[in-house]
Amino acid sequence: MDWNPAADEDQLYRITVKFATGVAPAVSGSRWFRDLERNDIQGELTGWPAGPVFTPRTAGDQTARRVGRGFLSAIPVIANIIANIGGAGGSPFGSGLGSGKPEEPENEVDDFPVMWAAPGTLARAVPWELDPGRRPEGYVTDLVLTSRRLLFLDEVGVLAEFPRESISGARQMEYSKVGADLRLTFADQSWIRLFTGNPKNAERLVGLLSGSAQAVPESALTEAQRQRAARFMANFRNTPLPPTYVRLTSGIVLLEACIPSKADKDLFEVTWTTMDDKGEPAQPEPGDL
C-alpha cells in the first residue's frame, strides 16, 4: 500500500513481517500466545478471530517431520549456490531452517510463544493480522519504523501503532527459519516474535532501535544521491518496499533494498550499494560494516 508518514516525522525503515513459526521438532510449524504463567491467551485477545490450536509433537511425529524439513532446508541452500555462481558474495539468506543453536530452549524447543504478555500489556495490542494462521493466503503485513513511531500496516492502512519510547529493545533470534526471527520487546517487558524474511532485516532493525545504526530519510540525501538511488532501484522494479538509507561511520550512505526471493515466497534478498555525497560509488572503510 502507499503510506506516507505525518508531516512531523520521517520514515526510516519498512519490511514485511508476520508472527514467527517454530522450527524445532516438537514445535515445528507451530506458534503459541502466552501469559507469564505460560497459559494460552488466544481467547483473551480482544477482537481476534479464532485461530488454529497447536499441540507439541510426539517423538513419532517429529521423525516424520524431520524428513520434510530436510527437503525444505535445501531451498535456501540451493538459492545460495545459485547466487554464488552468479558472482554474489556470501549468502543471501541464513544457513537454513533452524540455523544456530536454541538460545532459550523453553521458548524455542519445548514451547514456541510468539507473544509473551501479561494482561493489559502492549504486546496484546498488536494486530491479529500478523498471524499466518488467521489471515487469508497471500495477505501481507509490513512493519514501519519512523522517527517517532513503530507501525504495522496492511494494504488498506494502519493496523496498529506504538510510540518509539514504548519499544525497549529488539533481538535477532538466530534459531529460526534462515535466522530471520526478531524479538520485539515493549517497555512493559511484554514481547512478540516476528519473522522478517532475511537475517539482515532482523539485524538492521535491531541496530536502528538500539541506535548503533543511523538511518536517514530520503529527504536528507543530496540530489546526486537521490539520482543514484533512483538508477539503482530501477533494476528492481518488482520490489514492493522502499529502500533504506543508513549513514555509516565514515559518512558515506549505505542503500539497502529488500527484493522478494524466487526461492521461497516467505524470503527476501537484501541487495545494497554505497555512495558518497556526490552519488559516486564509495568503498566502505574499516568499521563501517
CATH number of 11-213: 2.30.29.30
Q: Give how far Cα 88 sits from Cα of 85, 169, 260, Å.
A: 7, 32, 16
| pTM exceeds 0.95 for this model | no
- Classify 135 as helix, strand or coil: coil
How far from chain centre, in Å, is Cα 243? 15
The pLDDT, as a whole number, for residue 93 is 60
Name the stretches of the chain with pLDDT < 50: 64, 66-69, 71-91
pLDDT at 74: 46
Tell which phi-psi region holds residue 287, choosing left (phi > 0), alpha (psi between -120 and 50) or beta. Answer: left
pLDDT digits (tens, 9 = 90+) for 114-162: 999 999 999 999 999 999 999 999 999 999 999 999 999 999 999 999 9
pLDDT of residue 79: 43
Q: Are strands 32-34 and 158-163 parallel, antiparallel or unpaired?
A: unpaired
